[in-house]
Amino acid sequence: MSNSSNIESILSETRSFPPPATFTAQANIGSEEQYEQLWHMAKDDPSKFWGEMAENLTWFQRWDTVMDGDMPNTKWFTGGKLNVSYNCIDRHLETERRNKAAIIWEGEPGDTRVLRYQDLHREVCKFANVLKSLGIETGDRVTLYMPMIPELTIAMLACARIGAVHSIIFGGFSADAVADRNNDAQAKLVITADGGWRRGKEIPLKIAVDASLEKSPSVEKVVVVRRTGGDVDMVPDRDLWWHDLMADASAECDAVELDSEHPLFILYTSGSTGKPKGVLHTSAGYLLGTMMTSQWVFDLKEEDTYWCTADIGWITGHSYICYGPLANGASIVMYEGAPNWPDEGRFWELIEKYQVSIFYTAPTAIRAFIKWGNEWPEKHDLSSLRLLGTVGEPINPEAWMWYHEVIGQERCPIVDTWWQTETGGIMISPLPGVTATKPGSCSRPLPGVVPDIVTEKGESLEANQGGLLVMRQPWPHMLRTLYGDHDRFLETYFSTIEGCYFAGDGARRDADGYIWVMGRVDDVINVSGHRLSTMEVESALVAHERVAEAAVVGFPHEIKGEGICCFVTLKHDDGTEDLKAELIRHVRHQIGALATPDQIRFAASLPKTRSGKIMRRLLRDIAAGRESTQDTSTLEDFNILAKLRNDEE
């Protein structure tokens, strides 16, 4: 039972919130029995289950085999033909949805656009014809390096319409990052904009593209959207304006009939070491997964106004701004800019303005909202909200409680959704009409997902034993390979635990079968032979009224092996030695002597990835007083590292 690879869990959270009866009464999945039945059917007979679900898609040709081969090389719906763009747009035009808003867009400066499904269809068809006119063929790779404007979604769906494979690069990445990804994918075309707006400043995208193209010779043409009106150099014969190309394009373009396993997109995700991994997703399985999980988890209804605040450059935006919601014919809100521009009330203003009913954001954003203060949400009417979601990191229970009370006004269920770029869609999450939620737990697996928590030898662990989170069965929306490196795919995900997909996260399951993700296993610290999850110490710190955010790492310690070093951001900038002592006592009191911090360091901010995840591996070097040799290409703000180093005592 006790195994040296186990992770000890020290944080105990006992609060539980059943779904409101009024929510349950109208929910897409509305009872525990229905959940159990779906989950067991999917586990015992996945071909039957997913075959039935696939009736929700529109097929040009029905599949022969639902599930073909074993993990990791399972193919889904082989023999079938469909088109993702057709499923996200065309089929809605035969219904009342043709006049429904598909995209309700707001730019950071306050300009707005609404595209009905008909409008989206016209723009996508035209741009698909533009792609063809530029020589883009089925299977070619196209890089999208764009701000959060409707043209980004139009370009994605236009690629899907002709079977070109998009590779979206988040607009905050550097020219070098763009060049690396262009080269890895051998992209033929880059679509970009002059710039995008962020906190009132222009992010100069085209300049970065120009620099990247000096190092990425595969790219033949660049299409540029005029967004900010800033100055750009247009290279003759290479660079073309979006609006010029669109002016002449025909609005008729049949969706190409593509194999179920035709590649839909590549999305690069940073490894902790080495070059980024090109996660490849394919058509039918990915679309089905994102469509069904949107229905189950977000309880999407015809009349909802749904807002996911992620950037489309991350998987969350791919799956839950674009493909999942549009496959369901939903109305989505898309916002270009920062949450604190022109002031810290922007998100709440948008919720009120568009009467948003479903709101999906990240713990890092929630911690920022808490720090900014309740006066911002309190200025706005948030009564349109009926469901809240979170994704990206474990949510600290105190942040969860704030989200529940201040934003959800104790009325809205919260879905804490665990998933990864690699899983394509949500894997573990409450069902909002069914699951009693516990702050900090992503609760139970969705139908079709068979997780386990195991030792390093692959043995299943008992309740409340922390170990490695794995998947025992394949699912339709799973990644198929790492682009151009199938060996790395096998090595990264399938070599740790035989016969299983290994997610890289540590987790435990409680006595009710709820899963508590404890963070990346690389972040675990070993104190006197006890393996502790850094996230649990962080949650204890965040529960202190003066703490806004915390990152905990290990550092070499003569006696204990590793000591506990806590980087702490305060709500108000007033850190003192007394407060340090108080925080140490607080953690000790909350979770026990074993987790007593050895060091508290106050920091103005923490190093994060551009998608908001705390980069603990960089803090480990600082805590140990080492020079860092780590990859910092995904770091959001380099100044933070220098500041943290200078703050060392």
List interacting residues with ligand 7RM (CB under 6 A): 269, 315-316, 391-394, 416-421, 442, 503-505, 517, 520, 611
Closest approach of ligand 7RM to the CB of residue 470, in Å: 12
The partner residues of 191 in beta bridges, in order of sequence, read 144, 223
The owner of tokens 């043995």 is 459
Closer Cβ to ligand 7RM, 39 or 320, answer by number: 320
The owner of tokens 């299409």 is 223
Closest approach of ligand 7RM to the CB of residue 469, in Å: 8
Query: Could you tell me the end-to-end alpha-carbon distance of the chain, in angstroms, rounded to an integer?
Result: 42
Residue 267 and residue 279: Cα distance in Å, rounded?
5
Closest approach of ligand 7RM to the CB of residue 161, in Å: 26
Closer Cβ to ligand 7RM, 477 or 520, answer by number: 520
The owner of tokens 């409707």 is 150
Best CA proximity match to 432, nearest among 16, 15, 20, 13:
20
Dump the DSSP string for 334-393.
EE-S-TTSSSTTHHHHHHHHHT--EEEE-HHHHHHHHHH-THHHHTS--TT--EEEE-SS
The partner residues of 406 in beta bridges, in order of sequence, read none
Closer Cβ to ligand 7RM, 245 or 266, answer by number: 266
Residue 612 and residue 635: Cα distance in Å, rounded?
9
Count other C-beta atoms under 10 Å from residue 268's C-beta.
25
The residue length of the chain stands at 649
Closest approach of ligand 7RM to the CB of residue 315, in Å: 5
Reading the block at residue 461, the tokens are: 């662990």
**Which residues lie closer than 8 Å to 188 by C-beta, 6 or more apart?**
135, 136, 140, 141, 142, 218, 219, 220, 221
Closest approach of ligand 7RM to the CB of residue 184, in Å: 18
Provide the residue type at 36 as one letter.
E
Task: Spell out a b/e string for 3-32, using b for 16 or more CB atoms within 10 Å of the CB, else e.
Answer: eebbbbbbbebeeebebeeebbeebbbbee
Query: Cα 375 to the chain's mean position, in Å?
Result: 28
Closer Cβ to ligand 7RM, 119 or 416, answer by number: 416
Closest approach of ligand 7RM to the CB of residue 31, in Å: 24
Residue 180 class from Cβ within 10 Å (0-12 exposed, 13-18 middle, 19+ buried)? buried
Closest approach of ligand 7RM to the CB of residue 325, in Å: 15
Check if the beta carbon of residue 167 is closer than 8 Å to that of residue 212: no
Closer Cβ to ligand 7RM, 205 or 503, answer by number: 503
Closest approach of ligand 7RM to the CB of residue 644, in Å: 22
Reading the block at residue 497, the tokens are: 């635990």
Closer Cβ to ligand 7RM, 189 or 399, answer by number: 399
Residue 610 and residue 170: Cα distance in Å, rounded?
9
| Coil/strand/helix, residue 410 | coil
Closer Cβ to ligand 7RM, 417 or 534, answer by number: 417
Closest approach of ligand 7RM to the CB of residue 392, in Å: 4
Closest approach of ligand 7RM to the CB of residue 547, in Å: 19
Closest approach of ligand 7RM to the CB of residue 620, in Å: 17
The owner of tokens 């598909």 is 102
Provide the residue type at 360 as one letter.
Y
Residue 35 and residue 43: Cα distance in Å, rounded?
12
Residue 402 and residue 539: Cα distance in Å, rounded?
13
Closest approach of ligand 7RM to the CB of residue 478, in Å: 13
Closer Cβ to ligand 7RM, 88 or 614, answer by number: 614
**Which residues lie closer than 8 Å to 467 by C-beta, 6 or more apart?**
3, 5, 6, 7, 453, 454, 455, 461, 506, 507, 508
Residue 118 and residue 99: Cα distance in Å, rounded?
7
Closer Cβ to ligand 7RM, 163 or 339, answer by number: 339
- Helix or strand run (H / E) with residue 142: strand 141-145
Closer Cβ to ligand 7RM, 324 or 563, answer by number: 324
Closer Cβ to ligand 7RM, 352 or 416, answer by number: 416
Closest approach of ligand 7RM to the CB of residue 499, in Å: 20
Closer Cβ to ligand 7RM, 204 or 504, answer by number: 504
Count other C-beta atoms under 10 Å from residue 285's C-beta.
28
Closest approach of ligand 7RM to the CB of residue 494, in Å: 16
Closer Cβ to ligand 7RM, 107 or 313, answer by number: 313
Closest approach of ligand 7RM to the CB of residue 517, in Å: 4
- Helix or strand run (H / E) with residue 144: strand 141-145
Closer Cβ to ligand 7RM, 394 or 448, answer by number: 394
Residue 205 and residue 194: Cα distance in Å, rounded?
6
Closer Cβ to ligand 7RM, 106 or 416, answer by number: 416
> DSSP letter at 479?
-
Closer Cβ to ligand 7RM, 89 or 308, answer by number: 308
Residue 376 and residue 380: Cα distance in Å, rounded?
8
Closest approach of ligand 7RM to the CB of residue 420, in Å: 4
